[in-house]
Amino acid sequence: MSYKVKLDVFEGPFDLLVYLIEKAEMSIYDIQVSVITAQYLAHIEKMRAEDLVIDSEFMVLAAILIELKSKMLLPGAEPAAAVDEEDPREELTRKLVEYRRFKLAAGLLGEIEEDNRAVLEKPGEDLQAFTGEPDEYLRMDLKKFLQSFRMFLGRKQRIDEIRRGYTRVARQRATVESGITYIRELFERRNVKILTFRELLTPESDRRQVTLTFVSLLEMMRANEIYVSQEVIFGEIVIRAGKFRAGAAYAAEPPAGKDGLAGKAGEKRSGRVQ
Amino acid sequence: MFSKKAIKSAFESMMFVLGEPLEVKTAANVFGVDKGTAREYFRELQREYEEEGRGLAVREIGGGFQFVTRAENFEHVRRLCTPAREKKLSMAALETLAIVAYKQPVTRGEIEMIRGIKCDRMLEGLLKRDLIEETGRADSAGRPILYGTTKMFLRYFGFAGLNELPEIEDIERSVREPDESGGVRQFAIDLEGQV
């Protein structure tokens, strides 16, 4: 049974090298090449054991480290080397320093990113409603433009034709209660006991008003305020006043249901009147 | 002529409608004032919203201003709805982006030299998210593409401009003397030879 070790994921060979140097508490300006090279190679070996894909760049840096190590082992007493005093590690150090700088910057950007994720902006508005976007029309050639214009005219004509058949309908505000009040007052004003249905209406009364008056009558019948008779079908409806009740709490009266049908009608309506 | 108060009030309305950062230039043109004055008004608004601790803040982004929510309110906003947010950038993407941001205009080769690893996939991802863009081509051999950050980058991190990038020079200024470039290039060629 194999023992699995979770390894940190490194972003690249420099990332790994900087990590190893920092872990060894070594100065980046004075890298102990042999120690670091050994650790670096050991880590790559671990990665290989983990079946991780090792980018070729890791191997390149390994080669560079080994080369550097061998250079460091050479005695620096050669006369030629004395002239050129450059530390063989210098180039690597410079690269690592620069890499570390950007790694730090990346960390800072990451923090700023995190902070800024709590700041929300509104998606840009579609301002076409305000600007009217004339470009779309301007891109048309004359033929297309004419075609659209004809279509527009045709559509306008059709709409006008349909409009001619329209009647404007104002919303009716009258209620059954107002109808009942009107009928009661009419009886009282004329000081009569009998009125015909036709007399309840005026020449201006429209279909709705007729319906409303009729429904009001049914409601009053249910409450025994009036008595209605009709001699023949489609004949004159004669209304005889009974005892009017005072107060407006008319529809609140539970349907007495003396006459089954009228009671039912009243029940249905009472909900709507309230 | 409009009073300062009227102009500032109008700027607020304009920022509200636009959503996107409102360019100082555009806003200044509406009132025929110069850009400096317009920017001053925007900054005053910014201060006022800040001082009063309003739920909205005026944020400066690349020469424009926009309304954004206050960060402290994020948890409350989230109760209302869960704002769709893009995935956070990976460390590798952040590294690449940092190099582009600080070194722009920069070629892929230069970025890879600093990171010591291939960056083509990272650059592709950053281009796709509109955080970087191609800004031209370098004069060097092969005329490689130069990359720079976008306005989206500023918005994503909430920077008014590139000058708001965090200071990193204090660590150690990288020196790249001209005579060193030969060595640096050599390394790059080694890299590619191995790939």
For A121, which of B17, B66, B157 is closest by C-beta distance?
B66
CATH of A176-273, one of 1.20.1260.10, 1.10.3210.10, 3.10.450.630, 1.10.10.580: 1.10.10.580
- Does the pLDDT value for residue A25 go beyond 90? no
What domains can be seen in chain B, in order of their start residue?
A: 4-80 (1.10.10.10), 91-194 (1.10.10.10)
- Mean predicted confidence (pLDDT) in B115-127: 91
Please, which residues 164-193 of chain B have a Cβ atom closer than 8 Å to chain A?
165-166, 168, 171-172, 174-175, 180, 183-184, 187, 190-191
List, by residue range, all CATH 1.10.10.580 domains of chain A.
176-273
Write the pLDDT tens digit of every residue in B48-58: 999 998 999 99
Q: Do B98 and A106 touch (CB under 8 A)?
A: yes
Write the pLDDT tens digit of every residue in A74-118: 765 454 444 556 777 888 888 888 899 999 999 999 999 988 888
- Does the pLDDT value for residue B181 go beyond 80? no
Q: Establish if B62 touches chain A: CB-CB under 8 angstroms.
A: no
**Residue B58 bridge partners (DSSP):** B67
Write the pLDDT tens digit of every residue in A196-231: 888 888 888 888 888 888 999 999 988 888 888 888
- Mean predicted confidence (pLDDT) in B167-179: 48
The shortest C-alpha distance from B174 to chain A (Å) reads 6
Closest chain A residue to B153 measured between Cα atoms?
A113
Residues of B in contact with A122 (CB under 8 A): 19, 66-67
Report the residue of B12, B69, B104, B114 to disrupt the A interface, i.e. the one with the largest count of A CBs within 10 Å: B114
